[in-house]
């Protein structure tokens, strides 16, 4: 049942929204309402992502977010009571030009400075690590063996189930509302610019704080509060093959960076593969484009010839939430009171969702996130012309 009032209303029930809700609920002292328009939590971009997790970024803030988030994943079964399919199989970037290779060497130096022992690889090193690849034109690579995979759905459901447990155990003053099939249609603002209520298809919820965690749809909620949030939706496609008997047990997550083409083991000996289309127009379209499937799979078979022996088991499309600098927007929005955003990750939101939920809880309760300095990712950077672009984007 829709509550009449809630201290915090979170819009979006993917990994980001579920994490924010859990970390607020765990703290206690505030009433929390999580709204998801789908029948289940985590069916949007979270449920359609590739599940990769990595420390290998080019900016300090993203590396720090990965360090803490992956630590939280390692503790997740014990703390939340849910296995999440964490599989640190390694994450290999394969590079086909000197410009990228030099940048990735700099990235590795920064990662080392922050305690991540990633490694620069020669072409021969890459061939030895994954001998099944076609390395034509490749100049080198980088790898970190403690990167890998986790299951997005298990993380979302872990948070949801844990919050239901907290709700059962909580004193009457603590309210946790986890609602599906609820669509936010407007946000009512006071003349002063403060949030007053969230308007939904089921009625209104009076609140002074909202969290926009709606992924590719977040810009629409910016319009409701009078703020231009520069997030646009861009389609990305994924395919899964039938099992490949010859797939070695140590096959890592492989990403041909220059081609935005990747592979990783999926459900035993199948392969999950994707390729970003640099010409994909802005849209909310999540239909599979068969022409792009053909382009993608031809390139995939060229780089990983073993795929020629596999069939196509399934494919789907999801949405990236893309910002101008391909970095997230986190924290309070300026010019309005009571509006927090956690969106715009441009393809790496799942892996950072756990720690971002904790940081947004700090932002709401203590007034400012403090576990990690997120100033580079605040909305104000756009007005300041601050360049915080992330290089390692697929």
**Which CATH number does the domain housing residue 370 bear?**
3.50.50.60
Q: Is 95 exposed, middle or buried (0-12, 13-18, 19+ CB in 10 A)?
A: buried
Q: How far apart are CA 196 and CA 187, in angstroms?
A: 8
What is the signed CA dihedral for 173, 161, 61, 12, rounded to 10 degrees? -80
Please state at what angle helix 349-365 crosses helix 152-169, rounded to 10 degrees.
Answer: 30
Q: Which domain holds residue 273?
A: 88-147+233-321
312 shares a domain with 238:
yes
The pLDDT, as a whole number, for residue 173 is 55
pLDDT band at residue 68 using 50, 70 and 90 as cut-offs: very high
The pLDDT, as a whole number, for residue 268 is 77
Q: What is the pLDDT of residues 94-108, one digit of tens each?
A: 999 999 999 999 999
255 shares a domain with 212:
no
3-class DSSP assignment, residue 320: strand
Q: How far apart are CA 222 and CA 104, in angstroms?
A: 35
Q: 109-146 as b/e, with b when 16 or more CB fall inside 10 Å? A: eebeeeebebbbbeeeebeebbebbebeebbbbbbbbb
Q: How far apart are CA 48 and CA 176, in angstroms?
A: 27
Within a 10 A sphere around the Cβ of 340, how many other Cβ atoms? 21
Q: Is residue 81 in some structural domain?
A: no
146, 20, 136: which is closest to 92 by C-alpha?
146
214 shares a domain with 134:
no
The pLDDT, as a whole number, for residue 236 is 96
The pLDDT, as a whole number, for residue 170 is 65
Q: Is residue 66 within a helix (H) or strand (E), and if so which, with residue range?
A: helix 60-80
Residue 40 has pLDDT above 80, yes or no: yes
316 shares a domain with 238:
yes
Pick from 297, 321, 345: which residue ends a domain?
321
The pLDDT, as a whole number, for residue 316 is 96
Mean of all residue pLDDT scores within the chain: 95
Residue 67 has pLDDT above 90, yes or no: yes
The pLDDT, as a whole number, for residue 267 is 86
Q: How far apart are CA 166 and CA 394, in angstroms?
A: 38
Taking every pair of Cα atoms in the chain, the longest distance, rounded to a whole number of angstroms, is: 65
The pLDDT, as a whole number, for residue 321 is 96
Cα torsion 237, 155, 66, 77: sign: negative
Q: Is residue 161 in some structural domain?
A: yes
The average pLDDT across 160-182 equals: 85
Who contacts 173 (Cβ-Cβ below 8 Å, separation ≥6)? none
Q: Is residue 55 in some structural domain?
A: no
380 shares a domain with 342:
yes
The pLDDT, as a whole number, for residue 43 is 84
pLDDT band at residue 174 using 50, 70 and 90 as cut-offs: low
285 shares a domain with 172:
no
Pick from 321, 353, 370: which residue ends a domain?
321
Residue 371 has pLDDT above 70, yes or no: yes
Residue 292 has pLDDT above 80, yes or no: yes
pLDDT band at residue 171 using 50, 70 and 90 as cut-offs: low
252 shares a domain with 238:
yes
Q: How far apart are CA 20 and CA 10, in angstroms?
A: 8
158 shares a domain with 25:
yes
Q: CATH number of the domain that 138 lies in? A: 3.30.9.10
Phi, psi of 174 (to 5 degrees): -100, 125
Q: What is the pLDDT of residues 136-146, one digit of tens each?
A: 999 999 999 99
The pLDDT, as a whole number, for residue 44 is 84
The pLDDT, as a whole number, for residue 8 is 98
Q: Is residue 83 in some structural domain?
A: no
259 shares a domain with 238:
yes
The residue written with tokens 């080019």 in the block is 58
The pLDDT, as a whole number, for residue 351 is 96
164 shares a domain with 42:
yes
Q: What is the pLDDT of residues 251-287, one digit of tens each?
A: 999 999 999 999 999 987 999 999 999 999 999 999 9
Contact 41, 90 (CB under 8 A): no
Range with the poorest average pLDDT among 2-6, 10-14, 44-48: 44-48
Q: How far apart are CA 19 and CA 357, in angstroms?
A: 4
Q: Is residue 261 within a helix (H) or strand (E), and if so which, with residue range?
A: strand 261-266
135 shares a domain with 241:
yes
pLDDT band at residue 212 using 50, 70 and 90 as cut-offs: very high
Query: How many folded domains does the chain comprise?
Result: 2
Q: Is residue 28 in some structural domain?
A: yes
Q: Is residue 171 in some structural domain?
A: yes
Q: How far apart are CA 195 and CA 225, in angstroms?
A: 8
The pLDDT, as a whole number, for residue 172 is 56
Q: Is residue 190 in some structural domain?
A: yes
Please state at what angle helix 349-365 crosses helix 15-27, rounded to 10 degrees.
Answer: 30
215 shares a domain with 108:
no
Who contacts 349 (Cβ-Cβ below 8 Å, separation ≥6)? 14, 15, 16, 45, 46, 49, 215, 321, 328, 343, 356
Q: Is residue 56 in some structural domain?
A: no
Quote the percentage of the chain above a pLDDT of 70: 99
Pick from 321, 336, 362: which residue ends a domain?
321
């Amino acid at each position: 049942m829709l509550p009449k009032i809630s201290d915090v209303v979170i819009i979006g029930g993917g990994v980001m929204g579920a994490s924010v809700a859990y970390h607020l609920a765990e703290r206690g002292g505030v009433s929390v309402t999580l709204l998801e328009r789908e029948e289940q939590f985590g069916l949007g971009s979270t449920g359609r992502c590739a599940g990769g997790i990595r420390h290998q970024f080019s900016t300090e803030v993203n590396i720090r977010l990965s360090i803490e988030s992956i630590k939280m994943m390692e503790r997740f079964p014990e703390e939340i009571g849910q296995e999440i399919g964490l599989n640190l199989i390694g994450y290999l970037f394969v590079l086909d030009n000197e410009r990228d290779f030099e940048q990735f060497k700099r990235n590795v130096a920064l990662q080392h400075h922050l305690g991540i022992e990633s490694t620069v690889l020669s072409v021969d090193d890459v061939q030895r690590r994954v001998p099944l690849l076609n390395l034509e034109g490749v100049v080198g690579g980088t790898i970190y063996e403690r990167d890998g995979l986790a299951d997005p759905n298990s993380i979302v459901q872990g948070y949801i189930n844990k919050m239901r447990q907290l709700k059962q155990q909580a004193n009457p003053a603590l309210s946790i509302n986890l609602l599906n099939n609820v669509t936010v249609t407007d946000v009512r603002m006071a003349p002063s610019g403060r949030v007053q209520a969230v308007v939904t298809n089921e009625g209104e919820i009076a609140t002074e704080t909202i969290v926009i965690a709606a992924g590719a749809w977040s810009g629409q909620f910016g319009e409701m509060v009078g703020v231009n949030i520069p997030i646009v939706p861009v389609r990305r496609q994924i395919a899964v093959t039938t099992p490949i008997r010859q797939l070695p047990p140590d096959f890592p997550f492989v990403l041909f960076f220059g081609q935005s083409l990747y592979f990783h083991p999926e459900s035993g000996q199948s392969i999950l593969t994707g390729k970003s289309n640099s010409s994909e127009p802005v849209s909310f379209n999540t239909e599979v484009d068969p022409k792009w499937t053909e382009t993608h799979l031809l390139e995939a078979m060229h780089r990983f010839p073993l795929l020629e022996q596999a069939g196509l088991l399934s494919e789907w499309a999801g949405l990236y939430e893309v910002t101008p600098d391909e970095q997230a927007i986190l924290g309070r929005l300026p010019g309005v009171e009571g509006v927090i955003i956690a969106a715009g990750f441009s393809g790496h939101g799942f892996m950072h969702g756990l720690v971002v939920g904790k940081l947004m809880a700090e932002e709401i309760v203590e007034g400012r996130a403090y576990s990690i300095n997120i100033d580079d990712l605040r909305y104000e950077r756009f007005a300041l012309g601050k360049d915080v672009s992330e290089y390692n984007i697929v």
